[in-house]
């Protein structure tokens, strides 16, 4: 009896509290890495390839620690990108509400997993071997049940708490924080159509997934950090795996080069601009931010609109705004001829990417006309940007 009570108190390891905490943090971190590297970047977006043995180790670990089925997770995530912020998005804060996604993200995931037609449609290329069919997909709860036994054997009764934390880790941080706060709170480097944000610039706790705006802008990139001050720990692990020859990432989307004092728009300029819509518009927004702030000081903002919200409206593509937001933007522009003229130039540049059927010569002419018009504008920031844009290559 005494031996049994001793086992309940300490398990077979008799680990110290510090060791138990270290194990819990390490185990949950490995789970996060398995989700971001294997499920997200490898399986869902094909941003990298993994050695088959490593990919299977990730599959086993996720079966053991989450009970998630690879094809279901991948299909739900691809469906999220296909219908982001619109009807059909399985976990959009704009559709379901931020509170619902934060607190009930796992429920939204389970509901979406029951749509077998959507799973079949979006799960192309996912593992469908014998062990997937006969074990991982068939016995989903047995994996986490085995983990419960392991945790109790290792640590005794406290293993129940360790197991509980492991069970909550992905539902809270991934299904809740990333899918919820990652579309509502934080900063945006790029004006992508989705409402995705970078929660913090240091992606460590959730494997780099905190850089959600970057991901939605460059969905097929294995690297989620873009700015020099951003850190994606998932990319660090991918680079380590590449060094070990266990992974190979797709080429990263490179920023355009700039040919200084290059005054003529040529084919290289057009190709560089078309391939870098997000970076081009982000660069223009960065130039215009001072102009927006200066002009907003002299404008009486409407009810319910502060300067931060006004800046957000000015920085977005009008096509991405809903009816209420477009009405507020119209009120801002009606109060300032200067803002209206600058925003018109910005919208004209954005229209360049909508001319998908235009020839290269027509696009060269359109870009040349825009640069000439911008170069003649009274706004110094617009003029300097036009001069830089001519040198893109």
pTM for the full predicted model: 0.89
Per-residue pLDDT tens for 128-152? 999 999 999 999 999 999 999 999 9
Residue 285 three-state SS:
helix
List the single range of 114-128, 197-211, 368-382 with lowest mean pLDDT.
368-382
Average confidence score pLDDT of the chain: 90
pLDDT at 204: 96
Tell me how far apart the alpha carbons of residues 211 and 216 are, in angstroms, rounded to a whole number: 9
Concatenating the DSSP letter of every residue in 128-147 gives -SHHIIIIITT-HHHHHHHH
Q: For residue 83, how many other CB atoms are within 10 A of its CB?
A: 15
Taking 3-state DSSP, the helix, strand and coil percentages for the chain, each rounded to the nearest 5, stand at 65, 5, 30
| Domain range list for the chain | 2-249, 267-389
Handedness of CA 271, 225, 240, 132 (dihedral sign): negative
List the single range of 5-14, 48-57, 193-202 with lowest mean pLDDT.
5-14
Which H helix or E strand runs over 377?
Answer: none
Confidence band for 302, pLDDT divided at 50, 70 and 90: low
172: left (phi over 0), alpha (psi -120 to 50) or beta: alpha
244 compared with 175, residue with greater pLDDT: 244
Per-residue pLDDT tens for 326-381? 888 888 888 888 889 999 999 898 888 887 667 888 888 889 999 999 888 888 89
Tell me how far apart the alpha carbons of residues 118 and 50 are, in angstroms, rounded to a whole number: 26
Q: Tell me the percentage of the chain whose pLDDT exceeds 90.
A: 56
Q: Among all chains, which residue has been given the structure tokens 């989705």?
A: 194
Concatenating the DSSP letter of every residue in 149-190 gives HHHHHHHTTHHHHHHHHHHHHHIIIIIIIIHHGGGTSSB-SS
Do strands 48-50 and 247-249 pair parallel, antiparallel, or not at all (unpaired)? antiparallel
Q: Using alpha carbons only, give the angle 243, 248, 253 rounded to the nearest 5 degrees.
A: 110
Q: For residue 213, how many other CB atoms are within 10 A of its CB?
A: 26
CA–chain centroid gap for 221, Å, is: 10
Question: For residue 115, what are its two tokens?
Answer: 């749509």
Give the list of residues 6+ apart from residue 197 with CB closer than 8 angstroms, or none.
Answer: 181, 182, 183, 184, 185, 186, 187, 188, 212, 213
207: left (phi over 0), alpha (psi -120 to 50) or beta: left
* First-residue to last-residue Cα distance in the chain: 77
Do strands 231-232 and 247-249 pair parallel, antiparallel, or not at all (unpaired)? unpaired
pLDDT at residue 68 is higher than 80: yes
Concatenating the DSSP letter of every residue in 201-232 gives SEE-TTTTTTBHHHHHHSTT-S----STT-EE
In degrees and rounded to multiples of 5, residue 356 shows phi and psi of: -70, -25
CA distances from 104 to 28, 78, 91, 94, 207 (A): 20, 20, 10, 14, 21
CB 66 within 8 A of CB 144: yes
Largest CA distance in the chain: 90
CA distances from 85 to 73, 88, 148, 283 (A): 18, 8, 37, 25
pLDDT at 192: 86
């Amino acid at each position: 009896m005494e031996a049994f009570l001793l086992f309940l108190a300490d398990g077979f390891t008799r680990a110290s509290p510090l060791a138990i905490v270290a194990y819990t943090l390490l185990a949950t971190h490995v789970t996060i890495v398995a989700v971001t590297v294997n499920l997200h970047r490898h399986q869902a977006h094909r941003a990298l390839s993994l050695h088959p043995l490593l990919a299977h180790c990730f599959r086993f670990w996720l079966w053991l620690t989450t009970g998630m089925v690879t094809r279901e997770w991948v299909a739900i995530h691809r469906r999220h990108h296909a219908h982001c912020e619109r009807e059909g998005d399985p976990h959009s804060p704009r559709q379901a509400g931020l509170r619902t996604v934060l607190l009930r993200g796992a429920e939204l995931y389970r509901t979406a997993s029951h749509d077998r037609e959507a799973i079949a449609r979006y799960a192309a290329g996912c593992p469908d071997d014998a062990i997937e069919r006969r074990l991982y997909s068939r016995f989903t709860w047995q994996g986490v049940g085995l983990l419960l036994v392991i945790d109790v054997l290792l640590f005794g009764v406290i293993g129940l708490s360790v197991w509980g934390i492991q069970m909550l880790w992905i539902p809270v941080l991934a299904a809740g924080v990333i899918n919820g706060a990652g579309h509502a709170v934080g900063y945006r480097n790029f004006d992508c159509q989705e409402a995705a944000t970078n929660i913090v610039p240091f992606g460590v706790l959730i494997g780099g997934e905190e850089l959600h705006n970057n991901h939605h802008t460059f969905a097929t990139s294995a690297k989620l950090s873009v700015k020099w001050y951003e850190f994606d720990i998932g990319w660090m692990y991918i680079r380590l795996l590449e060094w070990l020859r266990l992974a190979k990432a797709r080429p990263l989307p490179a920023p355009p080069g700039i040919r200084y004092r290059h005054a003529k728009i040529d084919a290289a300029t057009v190709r560089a601009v078309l391939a870098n819509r997000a970076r081009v518009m982000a660069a223009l927004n960065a130039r215009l931010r001072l102009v927006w702030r200066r002009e907003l000081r002299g404008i009486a903002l409407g009810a319910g609109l502060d300067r931060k919200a006004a800046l957000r409206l000015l920085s977005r593509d009008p096509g991405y705004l809903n009816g209420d937001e477009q009405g507020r933007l119209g009120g801002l522009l009606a109060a300032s001829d200067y803002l209206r003229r600058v925003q018109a130039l910005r919208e004209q540049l954005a229209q360049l990417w909508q001319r998908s059927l235009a020839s290269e010569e027509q696009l060269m002419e359109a870009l040349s006309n825009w640069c000439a018009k911008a170069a003649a504008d009274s706004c110094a920031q617009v003029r300097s940007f036009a001069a830089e844009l001519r040198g893109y290559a």
